[in-house]
Amino acid sequence: MSYTQLVYIHLSTIVPAFLLGTFLLLNRKGTPLHRMLGKLYMVLMGFTALVTLLMQAEVGPRFFGHLGYIHLLSLLVIVTVPKAWLAARRGDTRQHKYSMISLYIGGLLIAGGFALMPGRMLYGWLFS
Handedness of CA 26, 30, 35, 38 (dihedral sign): positive
pLDDT at site 58: 72
Residue ranges of domains in the chain = 3-127
For residue range 72-100, list pLDDT tens digits in order: 899 999 999 999 999 999 999 999 999 99
DSSP for 23-52? Answer: HHHHS-SSSHHHHHHHHHHHHHHHHHHHHH
User: How far is 79 from 84, CA to CA, in rounded Å?
Assistant: 9
pTM recorded for the entire structure: 0.89
pLDDT digits (tens, 9 = 90+) for 9-47: 999 999 999 999 999 999 999 999 999 999 999 999 999
Report whether pLDDT(57) > 80.
no
65 or 77, greater pLDDT:
77
pLDDT at residue 115 greater than cutoff 90: no
Residue 118 has pLDDT above 80, yes or no: yes
Say what the pLDDT of residue 23 is: 98
Check whether 101 has a pLDDT greater than 90.
yes
DSSP-based three-state secondary structure for 116: coil
pLDDT bracket for residue 127 (50, 70, 90): confident
